[in-house]
Amino acid sequence: MANVLVKLQSLYSSLPEAEKRVADYVLKHVDSVPFFSVNELSDVAKVSIASTSRLARKVGCATFKDFKVELAQENSAASSVTAIYENITPDDSDAEITKKVFLGNIRSLEDTLKLVDCGALSTAAQAIALASRVVIFGIGSSANVASEASLRFSLLDVEVQAYNDAYRVQIETLRLKKNDVVIGISHSGKSRITVDALRNAEASKAITIGISNNPKCPLRDVSKFFFCTSFPEGRIKVASLSSLLAQLCLIDALYLLVAKYRKVKWNIDRLDKLTEKLFQ
């Protein structure tokens, strides 16, 4: 089962108002909620019992009892998370800000790992390894991740291109063929350019992969394989930066899995020697 606190934080922005009130209470009272009945938690959150039960199911728990057990197991960890993820304030020293950023990045990677479906990641890597062509779309800051992904897969002799211009993205979607692989990267998962590109890719029977920081987003709806990074929004205010780091980790995992499944590879030793000559 995925970490309940991680799932709550990841799903939070997409929850209905009533379920957000339950989530707010749980995140602020992790130590006491495991001792509540479903009626008691619903009362203090001022919502219906149905809303509380729905939230428990949304984070992967079959029953409210399972939800409480999972929270109890995470209780000690929750205390340390609260201590780590404090907001950066103008009164923080340079050392405190630096520490918070590093701890935020570390936690983002740990939480993302808990959310990753390794089976789906492996299947997506096999699709990339067999694809005639891989196209990666990323707009804004996501363009940097798209470019890095393109470089990595190129080292495996994969036919791959990355695009961040809206017009080029539109053109390339028209060139897609069956079993080409299209990767869309968007922190919010709402970039209309990226979402439309994957929707058009689906129509061409290309295989779509989405990477976002938002588990309930339009990008997920048009992705055959969807991978979500995690960052507790509303705490350290570098969420998009940490999202980029987690996205690069996902790309690295895909890269190494593709390397495992790829049948035809370049001579890496020869590539290294050619690269070294560039800097002599």
Q: Is the pLDDT of residue 121 over 80?
A: yes
**Mean pLDDT value across the chain:** 84
pLDDT at 273 over 80: no
**268: pLDDT confidence band, cut at 50, 70 and 90?**
low
99-104: long-range contacts at Cβ-Cβ below 8 A with a sequence spacing of 24 or more? 100/236, 101/236, 101/238, 101/241, 104/231, 104/235, 104/236, 104/238, 104/242
8 A C-beta contact, residue 134 and residue 180: yes
- How far the first Cα of the chain sits from its last, in Å, is 52
Per-residue model confidence (pLDDT) at position 280: 66
Q: Which two tokens stand for residue 249?
A: 């980790």
**Does the fold of domain 118-261 match that of domain 4-81?**
no
User: Using an 8 Å Cβ cutoff, are 59 and 73 in contact?
Assistant: no
State residue 239's pLDDT score: 47
Question: Residue 86: which residues within 8 A CB-CB, separation 6 or more?
Answer: 100, 235, 236
pLDDT at 2: 52
The contacts found for 250-256 with CB under 8 angstroms, 24 or more apart, are 250/112, 250/116, 250/121, 250/211, 251/145, 251/148, 251/149, 251/152, 251/211, 252/152, 253/116, 253/121, 254/121, 254/124, 254/125, 254/128, 254/149, 255/149, 255/152, 255/153, 255/156
Tokens representing 229 are 């990074």
- Residue 97 predicted with pLDDT over 80: yes
pLDDT bracket for residue 250 (50, 70, 90): very high
What backbone phi and psi angles, to 5 degrees, belong to 22?
-65, -45
Tell me the one-letter amino acid at 125.
Answer: A
Backbone angles phi, psi at 124, to 5 degrees: -65, -40
Measured CA distances, 242 to 8, 43, 229 (Å): 18, 36, 9
pLDDT value of residue 237: 42
Residue 84 has pLDDT above 60, yes or no: no
Among 84, 71, 65, CA closest to 8: 71
8 Å CB contact between 70 and 77 = no
pLDDT value at position 69? Answer: 81
Q: CATH classification of 4-81 is 1.10.10.10, yes or no?
A: yes
Q: Where are the domains of the chain?
A: 4-81, 118-261
Q: What is the pLDDT of residue 87?
A: 63
Q: Which region among 27-41, 44-58, 160-174, 259-273 has the lowest average model confidence (pLDDT)?
A: 259-273
With a pLDDT cut of 70, the percent of the chain lying above it is 85
Exposure class string for 161-178: b at 16+ Cβ within 10 A, else e: ebbbebeebeebbeebee
CATH superfamily, with its number, for domain 118-261 = Glucose-6-phosphate isomerase like protein; domain 1 (3.40.50.10490)
Q: Which bin fits 234, alpha (ψ -120 to 50), beta or left (φ > 0)?
A: left
